[in-house]
Amino acid sequence: MKYFYKMKKIIYKISTAGLLAILIMLTACEPQMKDKPDIGPAITPAQVTFTVTPGADDFHFVVTNTSELEGISYWNFGNGATGYGKVDTVAYQLPGDYVIQLTFVSRNGYAVKSTNFTQTKTDYSLFDAPMYLNLTGGITDLDGKTWKLDRSRVGWIGVGPTSDPNGLEWWKANPTDKAGTALVDDEITFKLDGFVVTYDNKGKSYVKEYRKNDAALASVYTNPVQNDGDWDVNYTTPQSGTWTIVTSGSNNSLVITSTKPIFPCFDVGAKNNTYLIRQVTSTLLELTCLSSYENWTNWHYYLCPI
């Protein structure tokens, strides 16, 4: 028993010494916390200002961050396009009401400022542009132009890392791959009149597992069945929405807007429903897209008209 009590006193002394050491360390740190630089109050939306002025023609406009603070400007132009920098240019080629949003990041935090912009004019040169004609068949084709996955080509679907612009480095489908899946008979139609896009899957769609598991789509994608690495799901179509082509530098991107999923026949969860147009001719539509679920993948599509 004497041994037990001696051990208890030793443990008590060690515990007390340990606590005292911790308190000394915390006290020693306190002056350093007081010496932390004061960056001032957080930035507020009232401190963020910007202007929208006419550009080179009736369809291009210049946005300028006029805030007095120093920082970084990120733009969302409300038409599917985004921008970066104190000054940027945006194209509004179709009538509509757009929300221009500036996210301004400074050493005091960030703030968001938005303004409404209305375009009343139409850039009719769009209707003669080869990209629009090849995609849709033109304004005289009232039914639009319908596309399907081009299974005659190697890489009709594929995937690579985001560093691979082609989206084919890791895997590219051979013509006979995925033959028994729901994606082989899907169709997507683009109309120039009204910029309408319609997706028809003949009753079933083919989707990635993370799309099948997305709680927001639980009532949209039903009865999932695994098939050749991905998932067949029941999905009621046709579904219609709108499309636009957004130009940023030398890149043209196809942006789809809809209340329910619309995609070029294989749902990989395209980030911002945006597909980079690698080429579009009268007989071939080649697209790539990033995934909103995986920040390391770039997906590839070849489509051909039916």
Give residue limits of the domains in the chain: 45-122, 125-305
Spatial contact of 100 and 88, defined as CB atoms under 8 Å apart: no
Cβ atoms < 10 Å from Cβ of 112: 12
Residue 35 has pLDDT above 70, yes or no: no
Helix (H) or strand (E) holding 253: strand 251-257
Where is average pLDDT lowest: 92-96, 182-186, 208-212, 274-278?
A: 92-96
Write out pLDDT tens, residues 176-207: 999 999 999 999 999 999 999 999 999 999 99
| Bridge partners for 226 per DSSP | 231
| Distance spanning both ends of the chain, measured CA to CA | 93
Cβ atoms < 10 Å from Cβ of 169: 15
With 0.85 as the threshold, say if the pTM is over it.
Answer: no
Spatial contact of 119 and 92, defined as CB atoms under 8 Å apart: yes
Q: How many CA atoms lie within 13 A of 275 on its CB side?
A: 26
How many whole angstroms separate alpha carbon 276 and alpha carbon 53? 28
Residue 237 has pLDDT above 60, yes or no: yes
Tell me what percent of the residues of the chain surpass a pLDDT of 70. Answer: 87
Closest to 123 measured CA to CA, from 132, 111, 113: 132
How many whole angstroms separate alpha carbon 196 and alpha carbon 256? 9
Q: Is the peptide bond before 130 cis (omega within 30 degrees of 0)?
A: no
Length of the chain: 306
Are domains 45-122 and 125-305 of this chain identical in fold?
no
Identify the CATH class of 125-305. mainly beta
Please state, in angstroms and as integers, the Cα–Cα distance from residue 20 to each residue in 6, 15, 32, 223, 258, following that order: 21, 9, 20, 63, 63
Please state, in angstroms and as integers, the Cα–Cα distance from residue 59 to each residue in 99, 119, 120, following that order: 16, 8, 10
How many whole angstroms separate alpha carbon 100 and alpha carbon 142? 32
Cβ atoms < 10 Å from Cβ of 206: 26
How confident is residue 9, by pLDDT bands cut at 50, 70 and 90? very low
CATH superfamily of 45-122: Immunoglobulins (2.60.40.10)
Residue 39 has pLDDT above 90, yes or no: no
**Burial classification of residue 9, based on how many CB atoms lie within 10 Å of its CB (0-12 exposed, 13-18 middle, 19 or more buried):** exposed
Per-residue pLDDT, 7: 40
| Bridge partners for 88 per DSSP | 63
Write out pLDDT tens, residues 92-142: 998 999 999 999 999 989 999 999 999 999 998 988 999 999 999 999 999
Higher pLDDT, residue 2 or 42:
42
Residue 282 backbone dihedrals phi, psi, to 5 degrees: -70, -15
Please state, in angstroms and as integers, the Cα–Cα distance from residue 173 to each residue in 40, 149, 155, 253, 262, following that order: 56, 11, 5, 23, 22
